[in-house]
Amino acid sequence: MSSDYLERIDYHGDKESLVGDIAQEFNLGHVNNSEMLAVGFEDCNIKVDTENGQFAIKAFSKLRSEVEISRYVNVMQAAIAGGVHHPALHSTNAGDTLFDSNGIKAVVMDFIGGQTYFDTKTFPIDEELVLIAAEAVKIHNLNLNPPFVFDSWAIPQIHQMYQATEQYLDEQGKQLARQAIDRYDSIDVKKLEHCFVHGDIIATNTLKGSDGKIWILDFAVSNVYPKIQELAVMTSSLLADGSNSLSLKERANRVLQAYLSANGRIAGYDQTVLLDYAIAGAAMEFLGGHKAKHIDKEDVEESEHWISIGKQALEEALA
């Protein structure tokens, strides 16, 4: 298991040696224990228990460029400065945020006790959803326009994602995906309000802390996008409970009302097309799950999760 995650960062040594080097550089104290965190598809994340507390090491994937890593770190710093509930970043003995040694680039942040919604296999109740929306509002108020980073799972990539995965879909899957694409193409994207968005407020990136706070993780794919892209992802993914107890339209309305309750603003046209955008979001989960499973050969459980919730939402919304 450890070797699989270490391969992501092209590290072929002993995990304890790597953790020890980073702990020393960040002055974390004596390491008592460390364990891999099985989250995400790209980076290597390690929980570290030391005499001074609990920390999380994020070692960046070998696939990330130096520019992308620098951008990622700068975005995290800006989010924290803007009051977003994101784990605090630590500095090295030299005062740097980024550890860079022998080809390994990493940051260290506080480890937040609690569980993500993916861990608990639950979805937010109304009160929690307002707290999550409040974090989204903070993010949207950040005056950020970083260099664009490509995200194959982002809703605007729906045509490319379909082309990449069409061969793995059955006839029903192809029909559902094409219907979702038609709904997305009907949206006048130029009329939508754009701002800086997290872009991935999903079950794996939203943590209910043991401190009672909601914490937002993983800004890797944050970009300037239509504001409703954030709400659409929350609708199609974060509120997916696997039982279809709420329709996608009802989920979209829950997210919209929570966002408005958190003093967020959504323009009239944006509200009108939110459901169509959320349908496209469900299609991207369905198609992206196939990409992760068949093309990228990633974690089977998480891949099947995206395929399942995406298909369920599409079947219900497009019936």
Q: Can you list the alpha helix ranges (DSSP code H) found in the chain?
A: 2-7, 15-25, 66-81, 117-120, 126-140, 158-165, 171-185, 227-233, 248-261, 268-290, 300-317
Residue 15: its pLDDT value, please? 93
Q: Chain centroid to CA 67: how far? A: 20
225's CB contacts (< 8 A; 6+ apart) are 154, 156, 194, 195, 197, 199
The DSSP output letter for 238 is I
Cβ 52 vs Cβ 110: under 8 Å: no
Distances (CA, A) of 298 to 150, 161, 179, 203, 216: 19, 16, 27, 18, 23
Same fold, 2-111 and 117-317: no
Cα–Cα distance between 66 and 253 in angstroms, integer? 40
- Output the pTM of the full model: 0.94
Q: How far apart are CA 187 and CA 271, in angstroms?
A: 12
What are the pLDDT tens digits along the chain (319 aa)? 567 889 999 998 999 999 999 999 999 999 999 999 977 668 999 999 999 999 999 999 999 999 999 999 999 999 999 999 999 999 999 999 999 999 999 999 999 999 999 889 898 999 999 999 999 999 999 999 999 999 999 999 999 999 999 999 999 999 999 999 999 999 999 999 999 999 999 998 999 999 999 999 999 999 999 999 999 999 999 999 767 689 999 999 999 999 999 999 999 999 999 999 999 999 999 999 999 999 998 777 879 989 999 999 999 999 8
CATH node for 117-317: 3.90.1200.10
Q: Are 5 and 57 in contact (CB under 8 A)?
A: no
| Token pair of 95 as six digits | 């005062």
- For the chain, the structural domain boundaries read 2-111, 117-317
pLDDT of residue 244: 65
* CA 180 to chain centroid: 22
Whether 222 contacts 75, CB under 8 Å? yes
Question: What size, in residues, is the chain?
Answer: 319
Give the torsion through C-alpha atoms of 63, 69, 75, 76, to 10 deg: 90
Phi-psi region of 102 (alpha: psi -120 to 50; beta: other; left: phi over 0): left
CATH fold of 2-111: Phosphorylase Kinase; domain 1 (3.30.200)
Alpha carbon dihedral 86, 91, 97, 100, in 10-degree steps, equals -130
Which of 282, 280, 227 minimizes the C-alpha distance to 256?
Answer: 227
The rounded distance, in Å, linking the Cα atoms of 72 and 151 is 13
> What's the rounded Cα separation, in Å, for the pair 310 and 302?
12
